[in-house]
Structure 1
Amino acid sequence: MALDAFLALPGAGIALQAIGSLAAVLLVFVIVRALGMGSDVRIADEAEARALAEEARCGFDPVDVALDRARIGALLRNAAGEVMLIRRHGARFAGRLLSSHVGARLDRGFITLSTDDPHFGSITLDLGDQAQIWAASLRRLGTRA
């Protein structure tokens, strides 16, 4: 009977809709948190960058690693001179080998890189003093398209 009396009140339907919407939003929030979505993903250290490179390309064993100051990306070079770019892609990281220096642009301590893969996009890494060293080493990759 109490529910019938409540539903007879003016605006009761709107109040029930608001409560239902709030409950749905809270449920989505709990699910997103449980799945770890929406978190601020960063590369913890060089060891994690090396593991990400190995995950992106089996057998890629970096000898040089440069981490972005914000830890959103990294450049890694193996003994064969191949350079891999690791960047944040949503809540995960993705890696691509750089085939040329055509997509590289240096601006003081920042280096902007793009790959042959249009879906990978470009990224600007803050490498500080290492930016010039890495930009110079990328010229060894040539201009393959």
Structure 2
Amino acid sequence: MIALLDTLLALPGAGIALQALGSLIAVMLVFALVRTLDLGSDVRIADEAEARALAENARCGFDPVEIALDRARIGALLRNATGEVMLIRRHGAHFAARVLTSHAGARLDRGFLTLSTEDPHFGSITLDLGEKAQVWAASLRRLGATA
């Protein structure tokens, strides 16, 4: 067996072929790991029911009475009966949520509403809400001018 391996390694280009085979095996292992961890998937909010579930997971007892989904389904705004507004946005392969306490980070541009929170790690997001953008922007003014 060792003699056969020595003979194969002595062939011209055998080292390059082994390197290529090793690289191929490494790429296949990384691919299998990515698939196993479900990395790189294009997650989107399917419907209002999923947005409700995400809000409930983010804060127990948050029961939205009004929901606005981004047209691309990468984010949502939800309002509960007490007037609290929760922003849900895609964060990698998952979703993150924050309750908005101020309208200071809100900017309206036609059908697009850009929102940011006091949390610098949460970042900002531009939601395509269409005709609902103006209504939501106006309602956010009730949250207060500063955090």
Question: What's the TM-score once normalised by structure 2's chain length?
Answer: 0.95
Q: Which residue of 2 aligns with 1:23?
A: 25
| Number of aligned positions between the proteins | 145
CA-atom RMSD in angstroms = 0.9
Matched, 1:12 2:14: yes
Structure 1 residue 144: Cα displacement: 2.2
| Pick aligned residue for 1:80 from 76, 79, 82 | 82
State the partner residue of 1:111.
113
Query: Could you tell me which residue of structure 1 aligns to residue 134 of structure 2?
Result: 132
How many angstroms apart in 1 are the aligned matches of 2:57 and 2:116? 20
1:91-106 matched pairs, under 5 angstroms = 91-106=93-108
Give the deviation of 1:88 after TM superposition.
Answer: 0.3
Fraction of identical pairs, as percent: 81
TM superposition outliers: structure 1 runs of 4+ over 3 Å: none
Where does structure 2 lack aligned partners over 5 or more consecutive residues? Answer: none
Aligned position for 1:41? 43
Distance apart, 1:143 and its partner CA: 1.1
| Aligned equivalents of 2:99, 2:136: Cα separation in 1 | 14
TM-score with structure 1 length normalisation? 0.97
Report SS of the residue matched to 1:10.
Answer: coil
